[in-house]
Structure 1
Amino acid sequence: MNRSYALSLQQQRGAVLLVSLMILLIMTVLGIAGMSSTTMEEKMAANNQQRQQAYQAAETALRDAEAWLTNNVTAIGDLANFSGANGLYSLQETASGAAVNPPTFNLYDNSAWQSNGVASLSLLDNQDTPRYIIEYMGPTEDPAGLNPNDPVPVVMYAFRITAIGWSVDGTSRYLAWSHYTRRLN
């Protein structure tokens, strides 16, 4: 019995070692490829999270601006506030002979927002405060007719709200626009 065992060891000549090393090499390559894929997925998830934070901040600023319009612009005389200061601009005359005051800063410049935009509520700690501007676009007739029984066309006043939000780490920003119309007395 010892004699046949000794003969079989002499005949193998390292084939098992070679096959084992090949399998180990293949497993190592597969492991490295899997780790690279996981690292890329983690980066994509982190980038998506930053973008979502910036998006939520910009949407919060839009809602804040809409609430400001609802509470502070109730009469035609309130349009005089759109003088190019405090984040309120006008693209149309607010009264006969009034100056038109469009925004003159670059909407894509973060530092310009700090001095020209109105601060909104911040959602997260250590996040730059989202900001917004409101532009008066002018009067418009309501094409849908809020009241179909009303024979006189309804005059609505249009505003464009532009808001910006940043992620917590500041690497992502999101610009959002909203159009808002309302009746004024």
Structure 2
Amino acid sequence: MPLTFRMPSACRSRDERGVALITAVIMLLVITLLAISGARIALDSKKTSRNQRDYEIAFQAAEAALRDAELDISSATGPAKRTQIFSSKKRDGFDVPGGCNTGTAPSGPYLGLCDTYNSNPPIWNTVDWTATVGQRTVEYGTFTGRSFPTGSGLTPGRKPRYLIEIMTDRGINQSASNQDEVKFMYQITAVGFGPNDTTRAVVQSLYYKGED
């Protein structure tokens, strides 16, 4: 006659409780990991959105500085205007080998004018855009008299800036040996800042003033 052994009910109950406890701990661990991962994704998404917002602020400020530089060249009306300096036939104020003019004062007439087009590395990538001493870039409104809001929150932390490089503009039928035919145009580089200096945007344009 076969023998049958039965586990006492008390032992079987303890084993079942032990398995249930291990299962509950594993499930709790999984839920905790999912919660941590979700929180991290949410924080990363918030940080990315904030960085994108700050960059958009900087980009809009750089675009504003680009427009200010164009007005500086073409039709500035501010008290320190220097429109007469820019000419398609002369390069007065740009003869600064290897660098940019600092001007005779923070608003000197040749501030930010550079004879560095095609330099390697480009001057706009090496100049100190936040310098307060010996600055070589032009702050927004310096020569146009226009104002630009700055502060905290959703406004730039400082005014955007720009510099202007001179470049030769030769038409299709112009001879490189005939200096009388040489004309000049300008490359403008503008930098805008976000709510802090670490967020920056750079924009450039080529500007031709036209015949004098």
> Normalised by the shorter chain, which TM-score bucket?
0.5 to 0.7
> Mapping of 1:59-138 within 5 angstroms?
59-71=63-75, 72=83, 80-82=92-94, 84=101, 85-90=110-115, 107-112=126-131, 115-120=135-140, 121-126=147-152, 127-138=157-168
For these two proteins, the number of residue pairs brought into alignment is 159
Long gaps (5+) in structure 1: 1-6, 93-102, 144-153
Question: Any conservation in 2 of the 1:82–1:136 contact (CA below 8 Å)?
Answer: yes
> Mapping of 1:1-185 within 5 angstroms?
11-13=12-14, 14=17, 15-71=19-75, 72=83, 80-82=92-94, 84=101, 85-90=110-115, 107-112=126-131, 115-120=135-140, 121-126=147-152, 127-141=157-171, 157-185=184-212
- Please provide the CA RMSD for this pair: 3.5
- Distance change >3 Å, CA 45–CA 105, structure 1 → 2: closer
Q: Secondary structure at the match of 2:54?
A: helix
Distance (whole Å) between structure 1 residues aligned to residue 10 and residue 127 of structure 2: 75
TM-score by length of 2: 0.59
Distance (whole Å) between structure 2 residues aligned to residue 169 and residue 105 of structure 1: 20
- Distance change >3 Å, CA 9–CA 166, structure 1 → 2: farther
Distance (whole Å) between structure 2 residues aligned to residue 105 and residue 59 of structure 1: 16
Counterpart amino acid of residue 107 in structure 1: T
**Of Structure 1 and Structure 2, which has the larger fraction of its residues in strand?**
1
Q: Cα deviation per residue 1:28-72 (whole Å; 9 max; x = unaligned)?
A: 111111111112222222222222222222111111111222212
TM-score by length of 1: 0.67
Question: Any conservation in 1 of the 2:150–2:159 contact (CA below 8 Å)?
Answer: no
Query: Identity across aligned pairs (percent)?
Result: 28
Distance (whole Å) between structure 2 residues aligned to residue 21 and residue 157 of structure 1: 76
Distance (whole Å) between structure 1 residues aligned to residue 68 and residue 58 of structure 2: 15
